[in-house]
Amino acid sequence: MNPFLAMAGLFLVACSCSEPSAAAALRSDSPTRDVIEVDDFACFDHTGKFQRLSRNSDAKLVVLYVFANECPIVRQQAGGLVELSAEFAPRGVRFLCLDSSPQDRRASVAKEAGELGLTLPILMDETQCVAEMLGLTRTAEALVIESASWKLLWRGPLDDRQNYGGQRDAATRSWLREALEAALAGQPAPPDVPLTKGCALTFLEPRAKHEVTYVRDVAPILARRCVPCHREGGIGPWKMDGYEKLRGWSEMTREVVLARIMPPWHADPAHGDFLEDIGLAPAEARALVHWVERGAPRGEGEDPLAGKVEPFPEWPLGQPDLIVDLGLQEIPATGRIPNRDISWELKDHLSDRWVRALDLRPSNAEVLHHAFAFVPGQQELDTMVDQLAELPKAWKEKATQWLAENPDAKELPPEYSEALKRRAFQGRTYFAKYFPGQLVEEYPPGTGKLLPAKTKLLIELHYTTTGAPATDRPRLGIYFHDSQPEREIKVASTWNRKVGLQPHQRLEVSAERAFDHGLTVYALSPHMHYRGRSMRFTAFLPDGKSEILLDVTNYVFDWQANYTLRNPKRLPAGTRIVCDALYDNSAQNEHNPDPNAIVHFGSRTDDEMFVGYIVYSKE
């Protein structure tokens, strides 16, 4: 898979709709329900897990059951649904529920599912666009989808036991069971399927009545969420510079919005509020999808995007106090590019200075995937616990004994410190970084980062190809304080080298960082490679309470976002920040370059890493 296409959002994960030639074979109670091929879509489920339909390609059949809280028929059928799921799972059938009811929330759905013993994932269709795409009008309907082609094979009721206002002691027909048996045998489903009896769905903004125009509704959404990347000098492969361009890309826009590929914001909105948030609110996503489905009307008035987007300024904060020019980098047209390491000694930087902002940026955002600047050596190994973790076992034992004999020591003796400089894991912290679409790193008032005198920086550049030869001239702009700030910005991390993966393996990995002092957390950022699927940051407080600070449930290596807390979080001494990550080396991971590969810990793109960065200051 070409990483650039994934990054640009130009790959097709979804199946496009075809002519409804087999519509007559599908029973429905609405003339719009003529779906034959199911477009890919994604939702959070009731537990907060990110779910995408196409990631179920390892199942032969996918059953979608339309769920809603407090619907009597759904409540009566929950037990039978779980039983059917257990019965057919060994035969390659996967059951999912879909909740498109606007009044339902994750917490209430989780509560009701627990009461009913319903253990299936319940996908929360907050936009209601999935329900409209599938032509849903009532709960308790089951849809059978073939994963090989994502064709809708059958839709109808679970069985004939429930009716409005009453039910039989036992079912005389099990419609869903019959449909699954037929599909698994390669036979057509029973044709005499009655209409599904369930609770009617209410649509907040039905597509047929939702009058959306480009000028009034769509352009303002794009300006907020998309134009910062899709502009001159941005990382987006095409510029959102007017109606004609947007109309030409309208079907692609619908596809990537339904599948939650674009905009590239991958955190669960239930946890945290972040400055970089470009995720679509449900109403915004619904407006974009409806605009496309209603023919992409322009509307009256001046085009809000035509000629209105200013190019990026060279330096958004003004001319830096110090510029590190990393030279011209030539990028080939295709292929994977090894990391490029550039060593740069700040010979004229003769005294310690405090940094108020850093701006590591490319001249060509389309090719620089991400970059880090490190200060080699101790790399902010601030505590002796960290230092001991870096030492070989025999040295660790000696160092521990030395500390026991020297209880007032503030640091390890030189013979150990020199060894640490040679062995320190470079990526456990950083001095500066660049991620696609990120903001300038401007530190909060009263804080700053120390840049020691005569520092020798190591800059690591990760490039990707675009199909044509290209060049880039990255630079690091450094802005200094006039005097030492009150608090020093630190970058710590949770990290784990035990991320080896066998072919097709899924693996859960955890790591933690304990703080023996109070701290204020300003930003968080997960770093994994292509097999990384999710990472959650949880603060465990000394009083036994816990709080999820960030949950990146759909990690994408091509979009390594920084998550800056809109309101910095103060945490007491004794807090542990635990990171839980999931890795997926299977073919169901659409970003995986080779599911058959054995993967080891390492800095190459084909390797894997586990680092959870924490930007903080001591209290």
**Do residues 436 and 352 lie in contact, with contact meaning Cβ atoms separated by under 8 Å?**
no
User: 186 Cβ partners below 8 Å, 6+ apart?
Assistant: none
My answer on whether 495 and 480 are in the same domain is no
Tokens describing residue 592? 């995986």
Residue 382: name the closest of 450, 445, 325, 476 by CA: 450
**Count of domains forming the chain:** 4
Q: Which of 150-164, 271-285, 375-389, 518-532 has the lowest mean pLDDT?
A: 375-389
**Segment 257-297, tens digit of pLDDT:** 999 999 999 999 999 999 999 999 999 999 999 999 999 99
Task: Return the CATH number at 446.
Answer: 2.60.120.230
Q: What is the pLDDT of residue 296?
A: 98
**Whether residue 477 is found in the same domain as residue 526:** no
pLDDT tens for 75-94 read 999 999 999 999 999 999 99
Tell me which of 250, 265, 293 is where a domain ends.
293
Residue 391 lies in a domain: no
Instruction: Tell me, yes or no, whether 432 and 350 share the same domain.
Output: yes
Mean pLDDT of the chain: 88
* Whether 499 and 460 share a structural domain: no
pLDDT attached to residue 391: 64
Point out which residues pair with 142 in neighbouring strands. 65, 156
Report the pLDDT value the prediction gives residue 14, as an integer from 0 to 100. 32
Residue 304: asked if its preceding bond is cis (omega within 30°), the reply is no
Is there a contact between 151 and 82 (Cβ–Cβ < 8 Å)? no
Q: Do residues 239 and 272 both lie within one domain?
A: yes
Residue 257: DSSP 8-state: H
Alpha-carbon distance of 198 to 67, in angstroms, equals 10
Q: What was the pLDDT predicted at 13?
A: 31
In a domain? residue 72: yes
449 and 530 belong to one structural domain: no
Q: Where is the domain boundary, 243, 260, 293?
A: 293
Scanning the structure block, which residue is given the tokens 């799921």?
85
Residue 21 lies in a domain: yes
CA atoms lying within 13 Å on the CB side of residue 509: 28
pLDDT of residue 459: 93
Q: Is residue 326 part of a domain?
A: yes
CB 469 within 8 A of CB 436: no
Which residue type sits at 340? R
Is the same domain home to 514 and 571? yes
pLDDT at 426: 56
For residues 345 and 236, give the distance between their C-alpha atoms in angstroms, rounded to a whole number.
Answer: 33
pLDDT at 473: 96
Percent with pLDDT over 90 in the chain: 70
Q: Are 293 and 210 in contact (CB under 8 A)?
A: no
Q: Which of 148-157, 211-220, 246-255, 421-430 has the least mean pLDDT?
A: 421-430
> Are 296 and 246 spatial neighbours (Cβ–Cβ below 8 Å)?
yes
| Residue 605 confidence (pLDDT) | 81
Confidence of residue 318 (pLDDT cuts 50, 70, 90): very high
In a domain, 199, yes or no: no
Please determine, for residue 18, whether its predicted confidence score (pLDDT) is greater than 80. no
Residue at 493 is within a domain: yes
Half-sphere exposure in the Cβ direction for 94 (13 Å, CA): 16
CB atoms within 10 A of CB 443: 23
Q: Based on the fold, state whether residues 9 and 155 are members of the same structural domain.
A: yes
Query: DSSP secondary structure string, 543-581?
Result: TS-EEEEEEETT--TT----EEEEEEEEE-TT-EEEEEE
On whether both 156 and 246 belong to a single domain, the answer is no
Give tens-digit pLDDT for 577-603: 999 999 999 999 999 999 999 999 987
In this prediction, what percent of the chain has a pLDDT beyond 70?
A: 89
112 SS3 class: helix
Highest mean pLDDT among 228-242, 385-399, 508-522: 508-522
Considering the domain architecture, whether residues 173 and 266 belong to the same structural domain is answered as no
Q: How confident is the model at residue 377 (pLDDT cuts 50, 70, 90)?
A: low
* pLDDT attached to residue 384: 54
Render the burial of 494-528: b for 16+ CB within 10 Å, e for the rest: bbbeebbbeebeebebbbebebeeebbbbbbbbbb
With 90 as the cut, is the pLDDT of residue 394 above it?
no
Residue 401 pLDDT grade (very low, low, confident, very high; cuts 50, 70, 90) = confident
pLDDT band at 31 (very low <50, low <70, confident <90, very high): very low
CA pair distance 26, 48, nearest whole angstrom: 33
Per-residue model confidence (pLDDT) at position 228 = 87
List Cα–Cα distances, 409 to 54, 399, 618, in angstroms: 56, 12, 20
| Structure-block tokens of residue 563 | 């998550």
Is residue 42 in some structural domain?
Answer: yes
Higher pLDDT, residue 108 or 9: 108
- Phi first, then psi: give them for residue 219, nearest 5 degrees: -55, -45
CB atoms within 10 A of CB 597: 15
Higher-confidence position of 232 and 291? 291
Going by pLDDT thresholds of 50, 70 and 90, the confidence category of residue 308 is confident
Say yes or no to pLDDT of 417 above 70: no
Same domain, 39 and 168: yes
Element (H, E) at 584: strand 576-584
For residues 96 and 236, membership in a common domain is answered with no
Q: What is the pLDDT of residue 387?
A: 59
Give the domain range for residue 92: 3-184
Q: What is the CATH number of the domain that holds 177?
A: 3.40.30.10
Looking at residue 28, what is its pLDDT? 34
What is the mean pLDDT of the segment spanning 176-182?
Answer: 97
pLDDT exceeds cutoff 80 at 488: yes
Predicted confidence (pLDDT) per residue in 512-527, tens digit: 999 989 999 999 999 9
**Between 605 and 108, whose confidence is greater?**
108
Residue 47, in any domain of the structure: yes
pLDDT of residue 502: 97
3-state secondary structure of 565: strand
Residue 425 binned pLDDT confidence (cut-offs 50, 70, 90): low
Residue 365 to residues 124, 184, 224, 370: CA-CA distances in angstroms?
35, 48, 19, 10
The last residue of one of the domains, among 259, 293, 327, is 293
In this prediction, residue 362 carries a pLDDT of 93
CA distance 613 to 616: 10
pLDDT for position 33: 46
Q: What is the mean pLDDT of residues 392-406?
A: 78
Q: Hey, what amino acid is at 123?
A: L
Q: How far is CA 350 from the centre of its chain?
A: 42
Tell me the two tokens of residue 332.
């080939």
What is the residue type of 186? G
Q: Are 588 and 58 in contact (CB under 8 A)?
A: yes
Answer whether residue 555 shows pLDDT above 80.
yes
Amino acid at 365: A
